[in-house]
Every structure is written in structure tokens, then in C-alpha cells.
A = this chain, B = another copy of it.
Amino acid sequence: MSKVSLAKGTRDFGAEEMRKRKFIFNGIEQVFQLYGFHAIETPALENIETLTGKYGDEGDQLLFKILDSGDFWGNIEQEYGANKEIGKLNSKNIASKIASRGLRYDLTVPFARYVSMNRHLVKLPFRRYQMQPVWRADRPQKGRYREFWQCDADIIGSNSLLCEADLMGIFHRSFEKLGIKNFVIHLNSRKILEGVAEVLNASEKFGDLTIALDKYDKIGIQGVKTELQQRGFDDEQIEKISHFLFCESLNIKTLEKWKTLLSDSKIGLTGVSELGSLLSYLEASGFNNQIVLDGTLARGLSYYTGCIFEVKVPDSGIGSIAAGGRYDNLTGIFGMPGISGVGISFGADRIYDLMEAQNLFPKSADGNCKVLFCGMDENAISYCIPMAEKLRNAQIACKIYPEASKLKKQLDYANAEKIPYAAIIGEQEMKDKQLTIKDLETGKQETLYLEDLINKLKL
């Protein structure tokens, strides 16, 4: 028997982790639903054509591919003809012949596929959320897994900045619900970045600009300047860019400053004006605080075309815990052009780590089993059964220790399971039709009737 192990980069989630994960996922899901989002789910297995070419060369490398069943080698032997061309085989051309399916790499491409395959069903504007695992054949390291969960929400089919405003509301309500108070939403617009490139007369270097800015968090302002130099920006341009590298509260004054800086760029001014609309919606919703306009925010991924955002918790040592942005063309790759939208993604693993580090999980994440019935003999176990069912009728979770073990063993079990109360049943309790309740935190005991227990626990 070989030593059993997990596949590298994957995790089991035990009882406690699951409760905490459910606390996060359920909390966010409730907020999505408050804003009228619909859940959808797509399969883990996708045809390989759906996945390849969507994530760049690096992404293609990281796709997990599924070996076809049946006689895949027979087909290759036939094609490469009785060993004559076997020398031409390599991992890449074989893979393309023996793996016609792959594992979901993210939730965006499957969503785009879903929308383009279900145009008749999807009424625009469509709000969907999706919380499912994705797989990447990356090198596993601390905080990076080969199987991990994404938690995405998108609104497609409307250009209104109200969509962005709703997503900011979702950030606020979700993090408040989870007890994460000191988050900051960093906001920028790809149009503003395009405007910056334009006022530098460097529109053709827009890509270089975003790549350099994207490193700001890691390498600081001097690092970005060096990077820009290496990418061919001259001193004057770099000097100008540095004016944009500020991060200030989102308000009318800040927007005015941007407006002045970008006065020579039409697209830049459009970006500022859109942020103005967003700001006015946010003032109406009351969610205009904890938002900064951040000139260094670039969001590497190239498909964003409008507002972009990232949520951080200062001094947490944890990167962004949520992010998103507006894009122009979700489903073009699947033959359905013109669907724009805006979406966000919560970083479930980082949120978990942050909440663990800041001790934010509530006591309820200890579990919802409230009572362990401890019978001292076989009769006592039978005596417990109708009482346990009455608790369950009142929606109070409980269980009966199934063996007449020593009391200490049963109480140890309750403690290990973090069950707050033990209901101890001996001769006297059965005679009096009562039960003795021990509060396992305080050690206090009282003998009472079942109805009293139900009333006590329902409070």
C-alpha cells in the first residue's frame, strides 16, 4: 500500500474550514442576490477549443487537459504510419490529438460561452454570479493552488455607470458583512490611462505604460520610473507621468484635477466624465466613501476598456482581496460581438487568510450543532430520541452520542466538536422526565424540562 497523498497544489477542506468558507461564500452570495444577480454554473469539463487561445500562450501552457478515453494511441499509430513518422511526435502535437477536453481555467470564458450559446434565454442587461473552482497547472507555492475557487459577478448588456455603482455597493455590503472594515477601493479608468498616453504623445506605448504602472505596488515610484525609461519613455514623459501617479479620495475636486491634466485628450476626458457619473451615483447610494482615485492602478489584463477597480486592506500584508473592471467585448470570441459589461471577482482564499489573521470569523462559524445528548445506558439513548427530534422540529441542531460510553468520553467528544451544551440523561432524569444541561464553556449545570431547553436555545 503506497503512502496516500493529495495531488500537488490541491486541498481538502475539513469541517472548520468549510464552515468558514461557507460563511464567506454565503455572505457574498446573499449580497449578490440583494442586487438581483442570478447564479449560473458551467461544467468543469470544456471542449479544448473553448479554452485554447483565450488566455495567451502562458495560459495555454497552464490548461489541464483530459486524456481521451478509448484507444487514443491506436489513432496516432494509424496517422503516423507504422513507426515511420513516430520521430515527428512531440508532447505538443500528441496532446492536441489525445486530449479533446480541458478543465475550466477561469469563469469568464465559460460565461462568455454560456451567453453566446443561450442568447434566447439571457435577457439583457443580465446580472450573473458564479462561484466555482478553476484549475491551472501552475507551480504551486504559498497561497497559489492548482485548484482554487473564483467568485465572480458580472453585469452585461448595459453601458450605464449605475452598473459600476452597484458593484461598489456590493463591495461595501460584502466586506461589512464579513467584518472587514478598513478596506479601500482603488478606482481608475483605462480611458484615463489611454488619455495619459495620449497627452504624452505616446499612444502607441499604451501597453508599456500599463505594464510599468502595474508594477507600482511591488517596485514603488522609482522602480516604475526606471521601468518606463527601459521601455523608451523620455525624461519629460516620465516627469509628466509622475503627475498622474497620485491616489486621492474620489470626489469632485480630485476629478477636476484629472480633468485639467487630461484636457488635451478626448478619451481621457471621457474617462473623467464617466467617473463623474459614477461618483454622483455613489453619492446617491451612500457608498462613496473608502474609494480612492488611483492613477497607478492599471489592471494588467488587456480586455478592460473602462473603469477598473481593486480592493485592498492597508497594512494587512495581503494583496488585493477583490478586483474588476469594464470590458467592451465579452462574447466576440464566440461569434457574438457587441456585448459589453462590467464585472468583479472576490479573492476567496485571500479573504479567508485576512479574516483568519484578523480573527474576524464569528463564533457561529464554530458550528451549528447546539446539543449533544449523552445517555448513560441503552435505555437513556432511546429516551433521548424523541427529545432530539423535538429540538430538530424547532430547528435546533443536535445529535445523540450513539454509544453508552463513559460520561467523560462523551463530554470530551462534545468539546472536540465545539458543541456548546451536553444534555446528560441518567436514571433520575428519566424518572423525572427531565434532562440535565451542562454548559460546556462555563461548566454550569441545570436540570430542566425539554420545553425549557427549547425556549432557552431559541433565544
Where the two chains meet, the residues of A that have a C-beta atom closer than 8 Å to any C-beta of B are 1-2, 4-7, 10-15, 18-19, 22, 33-36, 38-47, 49-50, 61-62, 64-67, 69-74, 83, 86-87, 89-91, 94-95, 98-99, 101, 103, 113-114, 116-118, 121, 123, 125, 127-128, 133, 135, 137, 146-147, 155, 158, 160, 162-163, 165-166, 169, 173, 280-281, 284-287, 333-335, 367-369, 372, 381-382, 385-386, 388-389, 392, 395-403, 413, 416-417, 419
Contacts of A62 in B (CB 8 A): 69
Q: A163 touching B86 by the CB < 8 A rule? A: no
In the assembled complex, the Cα of A40 lies from the Cα of B113 at a distance in Å of: 31
Looking at the assembled complex, report how far the CB atom of A446 sits from the nearest CB atom of chain B, in whole angstroms. 22
- In the complex, which residue of chain B has the Cβ closest to the Cβ of A3? B335
Q: Assuming A13-B40, A15-B39, A65-B67, is B162 touching A397 (CB within 8 A)?
A: no
Give chain B residues whose Cβ lies under 8 Å from the Cβ of A70: 91
A15 touching B36 in the complex, CB below 8 Å, given contacts A64-B66, A135-B44: no
Q: Are A45 and B382 in contact (CB under 8 A)?
A: no
**Interfacial chain B residues near A397, Cβ < 8 Å:** 33-36
| Pair B367/A67 contact, Cβ less than 8 Å | no
Nearest chain B CB to A107's CB is how many angstroms away? 12
Contact yes or no, B160 A4, CB < 8 A: no
Query: Distance (Å) between the CB of A430 and the closest chain B CB?
Result: 13
Closest to A72 in B: B91
Contact between A67 and B99 (Cβ–Cβ < 8 Å)? yes
How distant is A298 from chain B, measured CB to nearest CB, in Å? Answer: 26
A-B contacts, 11 of them at CB < 8 A, read A1-B335, A5-B117, A6-B46, A15-B40, A33-B397, A61-B69, A123-B417, A169-B389, A284-B382, A284-B385, A285-B389
B-side contacts of A162, CB under 8 Å: 381, 385, 400, 402
Q: Is the CB of B90 within 8 A of A382?
A: no
Given contacts A10-B46, A12-B114, A34-B398, 13 further A-B contacts (CB under 8 A): A2-B49, A6-B47, A22-B39, A34-B396, A35-B399, A36-B399, A38-B367, A44-B44, A44-B135, A45-B147, A67-B67, A127-B399, A160-B381
State whether B87 touches A135 (Cβ < 8 A).
no
Partner of A91, one of B33, B73, B372: B73
CB–CB A385/B40 < 8 A: no
Contacting pair B19 A39 (CB below 8 A)? yes
Q: List chain B residues, Cβ under 8 A from A90.
A: 71, 73-74
Do A413 and B158 touch (CB < 8 A)?
A: no
- Known contacts A83-B86, A87-B83, A128-B15; decide if A395 and B34 are in contact (CB<8 Å): yes
Q: Point out the residues of chain B lying under 8 angstroms from A113, CB to CB.
A: 4
State the Cβ distance, A422 to closest chain B Cβ, in Å. 13
A414 nearest in chain B by CB position: B123
The answer to whether A123 and B4 touch across the interface, beta carbons within 8 angstroms, is no
Is there contact, CB below 8 Å, between A402 and B125? yes
Contact A12 B43 (CB under 8 A): yes
- Asked if B40 and A18 make an inter-chain contact with CB atoms under 8 angstroms apart, the answer reads yes
Given A47-B6, A147-B43, also A392-B69 (CB < 8 A): no
Q: How far does the alpha carbon of A360 sit from the alpha carbon of B190 in the complex, in Å?
A: 49
- With known contacts A91-B71, A403-B158, A43–B386 Cβ distance under 8 A: no
A43 to chain B, nearest CB (A): 4
Tell me whether A7 and B46 are in contact (CB under 8 A): yes
